[in-house]
Amino acid sequence: MTVKRYWSYRDQIVEGLRDPIEDEAEALEGLDAVLRQSIGGQSVADVSVGSFLSGGIDSSTVTALYQAIAPGRVRSFTLGFAEAGFDEADFARRVAAHLGTEHTEHYVDADEALAVIPDLPTIYDEPFADSSQIPTFLVSKLARQHVKVALSGDGGDELFGGYNRYLTVARLWRYARRLPAPVRTAVGSVAATIPSTAWQGLIDLASRSERAPHLGSRVQGMFASLAGARDLDGLMAGFLDQWSGIGNPAANCDSSFGQIPCPRTSVSNSSSWRPTR
């Protein structure tokens, strides 16, 4: 018996940087083929398979491609919330109608969500510091009444830069880099001492939106990162990496932004971000 590595994330990065995709049509065609291959493979099962559908880009794409290759109507599932600022059920309903899925939705109230919390340590294998674990469990519970397996759009934001933070941090650096480093450090340090509740109040006042919760702490964290950032990579690392500046607790691991991550060694990569094969 021999043990060998059949795939390397590091090799994929190196190869992609060596031969980047420069034609948008080629990129779209390649992405469509890869997604269809992935969804086709993941949907192979000897039990019933469905799809989580929030109405967003990621889950809608997965559900649409699954419906395109499925032999019959796909079972889709979504959660609704009474709070208008968080409810996406209407979007999911419209996508389901357009795709022709057999759609099921369930509206969750506060009591039902709170009742899940005591069981979370027995559900997840390790601490999972994200409130999305509650609706994920509830939509899984809903789907389990009809199917045994469900596809989801989780991971799309991470793979395709779908979070606003990626654009916001880069925009902040375009302005911040014009300041001398000592001034930048001072501004970031002072701004980081302002309580997150104060930042949240300013955000709510400026946006007049019900969909801006918890942004105050993110703004405060961004300024804290700015205080020690020397370049865009440093600012992004400080904002995204909880271990930035204090060392990752995982042995032999470097999670710095712009570097190839764990497990054994870290290789700096100063090349700019480009689409790769």
- Shared domain for 169 and 188, answered yes or no, is yes
Residue listed under structure tokens 């909880």 = 242
Q: Give the Å distances, CA to CA, from 159 to 11, 154, 162.
A: 17, 10, 8
The model's pTM is 0.71
Q: Tell me whether residue 220 is exposed, middle or buried, using C-beta atoms within 10 angstroms of its C-beta: 0 to 12, 13 to 18, 19 or more.
A: buried
**Residue 187, in any domain of the structure:** yes
Query: Going by C-beta distance under 8 Å and a sequence separation of 6 or more, which residues neighbour residue 157?
Result: 58, 163
- Shared domain for 155 and 135, answered yes or no, is yes
**Residue 79, in any domain of the structure:** yes
- Shared domain for 54 and 136, answered yes or no, is yes
The whole domain housing 91 covers 43-159
- Shared domain for 79 and 54, answered yes or no, is yes
Q: Give the Å distances, CA to CA, from 33 to 36, 37, 65.
A: 5, 6, 10
Q: Give the Å distances, CA to CA, from 199 to 126, 193, 251.
A: 32, 11, 36
- Shared domain for 177 and 124, answered yes or no, is no
User: What is the maximum span of the chain, computed from C-alpha positions, in angstroms?
Assistant: 65
Residue where one domain finishes, among candidates 124, 159, 194: 159
pLDDT tens digit sequence for 86-114: 788 999 999 999 999 999 999 999 899 99
**Residue 2, in any domain of the structure:** no
pLDDT tens digit sequence for 66-87: 999 999 999 999 999 888 777 8
**Residue 70, in any domain of the structure:** yes
Q: Give dist(CA 168, CA 262) in Å, integer.
A: 26
Domain count, the chain: 2
Residue where one domain finishes, among candidates 135, 159, 183: 159
Domain at 141, CATH number: 3.40.50.620
Q: Give dist(CA 48, CA 65) in Å, integer.
A: 17
Average pLDDT along the chain = 84
pLDDT of residue 269: 37
